[in-house]
């Protein structure tokens, strides 16, 4: 392959280097199984040793220096998608798409997209959104469709590199498609269902209350304890976008959450947000960015029993509790929970917390 590595603007890395490029290189080595330690953006002795190991394994000059020779091999091994601030325009320049080839790609995408992209040879943010949308619509069919749509002139210019270039472009399109908001984000930053993830001393209070419930014959099914702030962020803004309270382009970024709220059209962005709301089971409920769940100070659980529940309060007092035989609506059980320091929020059926909020 004769791709244009200079288009990626990769700095030479060696002992003493630091920054985002070093972090990307360390992350690449770590995922490849090299002992890199912490990804900290500081190219020290550990990074030097791991780099030399990579070079030796791949029959490269073993010097601990990440230069174009080492980059060329690493790019073919997947480092390409770790290049800091990689844009579609940079990628296409790397693949040796000139202005004419970019226009050809934009024309090809316009057979899929509504409305059309401007065919200007500038594959900027709008064209990148179009590429992601095209993958969203065509999925695994996109690669072959684009290969058939691109002109003979483009294929002739790229020559033997055309097929690998299409493979790389398709892989990139898939990556940016899955950055788009949508129900697939549900599996990221999962909510805990473990009491052990609650903050002390609330954790011990909940455990004591649960023991009393189980000893009395009740059943407890935990739905949620700790909700990571990243999950709260996704829930909060998907709800707000779907309700028309904020436009996707105005949603602030959150460190560590590589979600793209802005789609090719606003209508698609709103639809994706609504699908997230449905997947998260939010309904019409408000979702705070910060709550007792994100503070590790709340538990959502279903508590049920049959007949009379004979349960001990924190001080050992035995209480007989009848109907309703569930924790959502039984005020007598609320009082028992309060004796342990676990307080019920009356208008949220499964929710108990450190202070009833």
End-to-end CA distance of the chain: 61
Express each pLDDT in 181-239 by its tens digit: 999 999 999 999 999 999 999 999 999 999 999 999 999 999 999 999 999 999 999 99
Listed in sequence order, the residues at least 6 apart from 277 whose beta carbon sits closer than 8 Å to its beta carbon are 238, 239, 242, 283
CATH fold for the domain made of 5-82: Muramoyl-pentapeptide Carboxypeptidase; domain 1 (1.10.101)
Q: Is 318 helix (H, G, I), strand (E, B) or coil?
A: strand
pLDDT tens, position by position, 197-209: 999 999 999 999 9
φ, ψ for residue 128, nearest 5 deg: -65, -40
Pairing status of strand 219-224 against strand 343-344 = unpaired
Measure the CA–CA gap between 90 and 72, rounded to whole angstroms: 16
Confidence of residue 15 (pLDDT cuts 50, 70, 90): very high
Can you give the pLDDT at residue 285? 84
Domain ranges of the chain: 5-82, 88-179, 195-226+293-353, 229-280
Cis peptide before 324 (omega within 30 of 0): yes
DSSP per-residue letters across 172-237: HHHHHHHHB-SGGGGGSSPPP--GGGSPTTHHHHHHHHHHHHHHTT-EEEEEES---HHHHHHHHH
DSSP 262: -
Other Cβ atoms within 10 Å of 139 Cβ, number: 11
90-134 residue pLDDT tens: 999 999 999 999 999 999 999 999 999 999 999 999 999 999 999
Q: Is 335 left (phi over 0), alpha (psi -120 to 50) or beta?
A: alpha
Contact (Cβ atoms closer than 8 angstroms) between residue 132 and residue 264? yes
Return the DSSP state at 273. H
Residue 267 confidence (pLDDT) above 70: yes
Range from 125-134, 229-238, 262-271, 277-286 carrying the lowest mean pLDDT: 277-286
CA–CA distance, 316 with 24 (Å, rounded to integer):
58
């Amino acid at each position: 392959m004769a791709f244009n590595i200079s288009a990626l603007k990769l700095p030479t890395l060696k002992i003493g280097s630091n920054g985002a490029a070093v972090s990307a290189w360390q992350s690449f080595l770590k995922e490849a199984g090299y002992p890199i330690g912490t990804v900290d953006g500081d190219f020290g002795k550990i990074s030097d040793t791991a780099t030399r190991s990579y070079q030796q394994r791949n029959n490269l000059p073993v010097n601990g220096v990440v230069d174009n020779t080492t980059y060329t091999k690493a790019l073919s091994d997947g480092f390409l998608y770790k290049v800091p601030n990689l844009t579609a325009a940079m990628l296409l320049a790397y693949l040796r798409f000139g202005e004419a080839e970019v226009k050809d790609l934009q024309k090809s995408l316009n057979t899929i997209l509504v409305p059309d992209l401007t065919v200007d040879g500038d594959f900027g943010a709008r064209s990148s959104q179009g590429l992601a949308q095209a993958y969203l619509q065509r999925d695994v069919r996109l690669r072959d469709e684009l290969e058939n749509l691109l002109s003979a002139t483009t294929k002739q210019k790229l020559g033997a590199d055309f097929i690998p270039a299409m493979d790389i472009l398709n892989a990139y399109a898939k990556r940016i498609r899955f950055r788009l908001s949508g129900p697939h984000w549900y599996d990221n930053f999962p909510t805990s269902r473990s009491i052990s993830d609650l903050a002390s001393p609330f954790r011990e209070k909940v455990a004591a209350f649960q023991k009393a419930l189980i000893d009395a014959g009740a059943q407890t099914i935990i739905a949620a304890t700790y909700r990571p702030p990243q999950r709260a962020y996704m829930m909060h803004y998907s709800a707000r976008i779907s309700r028309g309270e904020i436009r996707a382009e105005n949603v602030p970024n959150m460190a560590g959450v590589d979600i793209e709220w802005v789609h090719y059209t606003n209508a698609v962005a709103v639809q994706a947000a609504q699908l997230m709301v449905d997947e998260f089971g939010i309904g019409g409920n408000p979702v705070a960015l910060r709550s007792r769940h994100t503070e590790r100070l709340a538990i959502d659980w279903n508590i049920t029993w049959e007949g009379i529940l004979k349960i001990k309060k924190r001080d050992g007092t035995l209480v007989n509790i009848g109907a309703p035989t569930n924790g959502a609506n039984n005020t007598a059980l609320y009082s028992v929970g309060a004796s342990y320091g676990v307080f019920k929020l009356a208008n949220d059926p499964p929710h108990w917390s450190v202070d009833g909020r």
